[in-house]
Structure 1
């Protein structure tokens, strides 16, 4: 009931989103790529007054265009869009909407040349009848001897409107270079203004342009390319176009769509499968969040560069006896301890600690005094950066199964690397792994020798990613994370790429100190974070030494 990641795109009433197509028209300029944006007329709906790309619904008349299309056939369109039939209709709809709304026509004449500006100007009288459904694009093509130049379009994105919206669309996005010599002109009905704009300029002045999420995301994507041709080439090279379906959430910015690249997206789908927009996309400190019948999260108000939005404390339990365990009591904060006690629906019997860094375990003392719960965990091998107050009643070795309540079982998994005493806990009945700092959301953890060990960290990640059947990760900082194996494999890949940069820096610079290697290895990290990055760099060097790939003599490192 809580896992909605694989639900269909239909809303709770079973209404499927309406097929639609959008075309992003780009052109070159001396200052970089420009895009054609249209401002919608005020109609009292959610996109009134918004700046958009040309686009709209796939009409029944679009299906009759197969015989007047050039460059892309039905089978090719179906394969490209991943649909069993009707793929070419989306291409045709994009061309038709572009012609209706801004007067640009992607078509070829009998000679195979793109239609000239004077020809398109002579077709202007078709635009309004097309919009009203009084004629169709096939009729226009047959009357004028034209073929739609569908191969001018590159398919690059697929957006589905969030559940819970009054109007929902299943929209395929295409990009095409503006037809040479043709001049755009808005239709003064659906759209009231048009402008050619550089994406970077629009993004720098967002307050002046009301935009929907897909428009904004597309502009950000184009802005990464120095030329329009570069963006087109990128779009044509895509082998797979994933479906992007935002989810409605609430938070400091009000009720809005949350995209799949945002941290809260997976959790919102789990908590609000029908799209009512009631789940929060912000981490709220001190506010209990019921993640499942057996799981509650309370976040401490200790947010920082190192702790993200704050440290998560999890309450696990709620079986027939309504008994609970706490995972990671958090920092020494009376307010946080009170928030955890208030969130517990029943007695707290166990306190489990993932590791003893000072944002995770110091509240153990106060929580134990209030509950008399049994404290479990491990003591670190090295005292630096550790919580000296932590004293477990039961030392866990890894592999122990802890019965919190009937049907609520935690299994301890020793995962050294970030810290020598790091333990992850698996809620077996829900396949949810509490990762502490072993896996973090949106960032990689600091590996700080001597207690931190990069070699052990990567080995622990590999064992977890291949040896456990997991559905969810519950990190020490951030929201629930779906696709655990993918998340851990991404961390391993990132660490190995960083290791490769260490090797390349030593090869290029020759024998070097850690201070000399740091700016070369972490040139993609802001200098203000270099003191923290220094710790992980030392951990990488020690791993290379243990792998017999590097040597250190009198604080100078070189390749073995």
Structure 2
């Protein structure tokens, strides 16, 4: 079996940074006969639009003129809006943009009249409503003039801040988007503009993400719908959003794998490894492990993944090559010969292997198993170091740590590479005693590397 490398293409240069545009999205909710429903709009098919034909929430880019709508916003000033969004100023721009975009795309306007009652647009003659909407689409100033003429104010206090998403690095267009939720106002109907938006639908969130429905959904839309599906009613969802004290940024990462390139979300096991290996979003990192996969974690560390058993490509335990500038390497937990991982291991050797090391407790069976592998690595020595020892790899040091107390369980070893602040934990999993601030990354026996939380 050939090794399957996972590394940046040789000779490639980092892509130029993508410009990031700020945007706002408004998720409209209502309670239907069978539970809470959400409004989705289908975008028109366009050749140069990465969201062509997708079902989306109303929203768009924050316009530089949206700040002019502050005077028309009710129940929230810029200081309070900025504090809610965690920005120095201009937070009210996002609320105003969300209201404006919703009116432009869906014909739904969050506004209050002089008596502080929600404006019911359906009471207006259709021709007048269409003229008002057309005027508002000409720009923010036109919307400002329209509201002023009607004596209306934008009811931004009816919006609740819900989430914050940033498009992954590597995408053709990137958006830093604030998501708001609101209950569909009374006395209004959804009227797509017919240009950008060609269809609308009210669906239960779980129905919207069902494969049977067949909607084209962007990653952020799908993840948001899955979150909305956990609420039984609009009131519950609104109460949850208003109770949030801190909303963290969600930025997916692009990665490759068996199903092709896709966005990997922050809660997925591969996320932190992808962030480390591919910060620019070229997509060469992997979201799935496979038997025989070779991953260059850094110039000093190479990982080879074994199989979970005979006749399977499912991932099993890892071996790690760890080395320094001199080209001398230690091999931690070498995979058995004759397996998918064992064959890939030999092909992936980055240099002379000086030591064969094991994180397992030193038992007769473990020692015999490691000695058998020595015939495959004739220049290597089997070494069982003591906790506290340091192995000089020439430009890098491998510090030996003890896993567990060695009393209640047999003593296993872990190896710290201080130059990378990385700990190879073996099957013990938990960090070694007294890891301290010198540790940033955990390299486990199975799975992806991840950040250490002290």
Residue 250, structure 1, aligned to residue 264, structure 2? no
Which of 297, 302, 307 does residue 291 from structure 1 map onto?
297
How far apart are 1:309 and its partner, in Å?
Answer: 3.3
- 2:415 aligned with 1:479, yes or no? no
Label 1:14 to 1:286 Cα distance change in 2 as closer, same or farther (>3 A): closer
* Structure 1 residue 353 corresponds to structure 2 residue 341: no
Could you say which residue in structure 1 is the equivalent of 2:22? Answer: 19
Q: Which residue is equivalent to 1:426?
A: 416
Report the CA distance shift for 1:333/1:103 in structure 2 as closer, same or farther (over 3 A). same
Task: Name whichever of 126-135 and 112-121 sits farther off.
Answer: 126-135
Q: 1:401 aligns with which of 383, 390, 401?
A: 390
Shift of 1:205: 2.7
1:37 CA drift (Å): 0.4
SS in 2 for 1:70: coil
CA distance in 2: counterparts of 1:356 and 1:256, whole angstroms: 40
Structure 2: how far apart are the matches of 1:137 and 1:366? 78
Query: Is 1:208 the counterpart of 2:250 in the alignment?
Result: no
Change in CA separation of 1:461 and 1:428 when aligned onto 2, cut-off 3 Å: closer
Evaluate the alpha carbon distance shift between residue 333 and residue 86 of structure 1 in structure 2; reply closer, same or farther with a 3 A threshold. same
Once residues 414 and 334 of structure 1 are traced to their aligned partners in structure 2, the CA distance between those partners, rounded to angstroms, is 29
* Alpha-carbon offset, residue 438 of structure 1: 3.1
Question: Superposition pairs for residues 58-457 of structure 1, below 5 Å?
Answer: 58-119=62-123, 122-133=128-139, 135-205=141-211, 208-302=214-308, 309-320=315-326, 322-330=327-335, 333-355=338-360, 364-372=370-378, 373-376=380-383, 394=384, 396-403=385-392, 405-416=393-404, 420-439=410-429
Mapped partners of 1:194, 1:274: distance in 2:
36
Pairwise CA distance, 1:290:
0.7
Q: Which has the higher contact order (CA 8 A, sep 6+)?
A: 2
Separation in structure 2 between the aligned mates of residue 15 and residue 339 of structure 1, nearest angstrom:
37
* TM-aligned CA deviation for residue 252 of structure 1: 1.6
Q: Is the 8 A contact 1:69 1:150 kept in 2?
A: yes
What residue ranges of structure 1 are gaps of 5+ in the alignment?
A: 1-10, 377-393, 440-459, 487-560
Equivalent positions of 1:535-550 (< 5 A) are none
SS for the counterpart of 1:339 is: helix
What's the CA shift string for 1:212-242, capped at 9, x where partnerless? Answer: 0110001110111122211111111111111
Determine if contact 1:347/1:371 at 8 Å carries over to the other structure.
Answer: no
- Taking a change above 3 Å as real, the CA distance of residues 398 and 468 of structure 1, as seen in their structure-2 partners, is farther
Deviation at 1:199, TM superposition (A): 0.8
List alignment gaps of at least 5 residues for structure 2: 1-13
Give the TM-score normalised by the residue count of structure 1.
0.72
SS at match of 1:288: strand
SS at match of 2:217: coil
Inter-partner Cα distance in structure 2 for 1:140 and 1:357: 80
Two-structure CA RMSD over aligned residues (Å): 2.6
- Give the 3 Å change call, closer, same or farther, for CA 361–212 of structure 1 in structure 2: farther
Distance 1:463 1:126, change over 3 A: farther
Q: Corresponding residue for 1:384?
A: none
How far 1:168 sits from its partner (Å)? 1.1
Cα separation, 1, equivalents of 2:319 and 2:212: 37
Once the 2 structures are TM-superposed, how far is the Cα of residue 333 of structure 1 from its aligned partner? 4.4
Which secondary structure state, in structure 2, belongs to the residue aligned with residue 252 of structure 1? coil
Match of 1:49 among 50, 53, 57: 53
Per residue, is there more helix in 1 or in 2? 1
Q: Whole-Å Cα distance in 2 between the matches of residues 209 and 165 of structure 1?
A: 21
Asked if the contact 1:103–1:183 (Cα under 8 Å) also holds between the matched residues in 2, the reply is yes
Distance 1:296 1:189 in 2: 52
Match of 2:8 in 1: none
Measure, in 2, the Cα distance between the counterparts of 1:370 and 1:34: 62
Secondary structure of 2:240's counterpart equals: helix
Mapped to 2, the partners of 1:362 and 1:89 lie a distance apart of 68
Equivalent pair of 1:337/1:367 in contact (CA under 8 Å): no
C-alpha contact (below 8 Å) 1:409/1:429 kept by paired residues: yes
Contact 2:401 2:414 in 1 (8 A): yes
Are residues 87 and 350 of structure 1, via their aligned partners in 2, closer, same or farther at CA, if it must alter by over 3 Å? same
Quote how far apart the aligned CAs of 1:140 are: 1.9
Deviations 1:469-511 (A, max 9, x none): 21211111111102x016xxxxxxxxxxxxxxxxxxxxxxxxx
* CA contact 2:18–2:170 (8 Å) conserved in 1: no
Structure 1 position 203, deviation (Å): 2.4
- Secondary structure at the residue paired with 1:33? strand
Q: When the two structures are superposed, what TM-score results if normalisation uses the length of structure 2? A: 0.88
The alignment partner of 1:300 has SS state of strand
Equivalent residue pairs, number: 431
Deviation at 1:129, TM superposition (A): 3.7
What is aligned with 1:530? Answer: none
2:123–2:187 Cα contact (<8 Å) kept: no
- CA–CA separation in structure 2 for the residues paired with 1:309 and 1:51: 36
Tell me, in whole angstroms, the C-alpha distance in 2 between the residues paired with 1:207 and 1:164.
29
Change (3 A) 1:361 1:81: farther
Q: Provide the rounded CA distance (Å) in 1 between the counterparts of 2:132 and 2:432.
A: 62
Q: 1:357 to 1:181 in 2, by over 3 A?
A: farther
Question: Cα deviations across residues 270-329 of structure 1 (Å, max 9, x unaligned)?
Answer: 22222111222221321211110000010002179xx98321111101422x11111112
Q: How far, CA to CA, are the matches of 1:350 and 1:277 in structure 2?
A: 34
Structure 1 residues 207, 399: CA separation in 2 closer, same or farther (over 3 Å shift)?
farther
Distance 1:177 1:31, change over 3 A: same
